[in-house]
Amino acid sequence: MSGEAWTSYEAAAAASRVVVRQLAEIDELREAADVLGAIWGVPENPPMSAELLRAMGKAESYVAGAYDGDTMVGVCVGFHSTPASRTMHSHIAGVLPAMAGRHVGFALKLHQRAWCLDRGIELMEWTFDPLVSRNAYFNLAKLGAYVAEYLPDFYGAMTDGINRDEESDRILVHWPLAAPEVVAACAGEPARPVLPPGAAAAWVQVPRDVERDRRTDPEQARGWRAKVREQLLTALSAGGRVAGFDKEQGYLVLPHDRDLEGDME
């Protein structure tokens, strides 16, 4: 399986014109901290320091950078969950805004996937802000991950340039690294929301650009937070599941399996 994973990564890296490699030397770890600081808008206080990255690398966690020529343009870091679960928690991944449209993030995640499969890690998980439409599409469609849990105000108050003054609601996704839908997504076939016949499904819409809304209309952005939190928490608490994400309609939510069976009778 890892052969397939590396082939998918190499295709993604070639398409985005970057090379992803692990970071070990202190100079490149300092550069990685600087890149993270620039992405998150806090150059004086990056979300991960070079010292922390150094320690994580020594502990055999995943610390990698994406390079455009000799310039580091993205960083991805993950650490292991409990050994028996064979899981990696991908803590942070980001790409400099100047690289928008190059799909560098896709190459980073596929490199991380191949690295995990080489080591017998079968599942990856991470969190993302449910209001950021492009991230929802990237995670659920482009990568083929699925929603495992909704986590209200997961990190508490945050002080970086992206999340400042916002409640830190997050969706936890699981990415089964060898699942057929993930293999297909990594080969360039995004997962699409599937509505079973007769299903009483619902769409949970999100703003087109919540990051812009936070700058221009913070009250509206907070309203979106409350609305999406209520709808997704209610559905998931009742045993429903998120069956995918559509750029125009948002999250496709299916009811509990028993409800679905009743609708189809």
**How sure is the predictor about 214, in pLDDT bands with cuts at 50, 70 and 90?**
confident
Alpha carbon distance 161, 148 (integer Å): 27
| Amino acid 190: pLDDT | 96
**How sure is the predictor about 13, in pLDDT bands with cuts at 50, 70 and 90?**
very high
Percent of the chain with pLDDT over 70: 94
pLDDT for residue 265 is more than 70: no
Mean of the per-residue pLDDT values of the chain: 91
Average pLDDT (19-40) is 97
pLDDT for residue 2 is more than 80: no
| Amino acid 89: pLDDT | 95
Average pLDDT (91-98) is 96
Average pLDDT (209-237) is 92
| Amino acid 262: pLDDT | 41
| Amino acid 16: pLDDT | 98
Average pLDDT (206-215) is 90
| Interval 115-173: pLDDT, tens | 999 999 999 999 999 999 999 999 999 999 999 999 999 989 777 767 766 888 999 99
| Amino acid 101: pLDDT | 94
| Amino acid 215: pLDDT | 86
**How sure is the predictor about 84, in pLDDT bands with cuts at 50, 70 and 90?**
low
pLDDT for residue 183 is more than 90: yes
More confident residue, 200 or 78: 78
| Amino acid 259: pLDDT | 47
Average pLDDT (96-105) is 96
Average pLDDT (26-54) is 96
Beta carbons of 67 and 101 less than 8 angstroms apart: no
| Amino acid 1: pLDDT | 57
**pTM passes above 0.85:** yes
pLDDT for residue 177 is more than 90: yes
Q: Provide the CATH topology of domain 2-192.
A: Aminopeptidase (3.40.630)
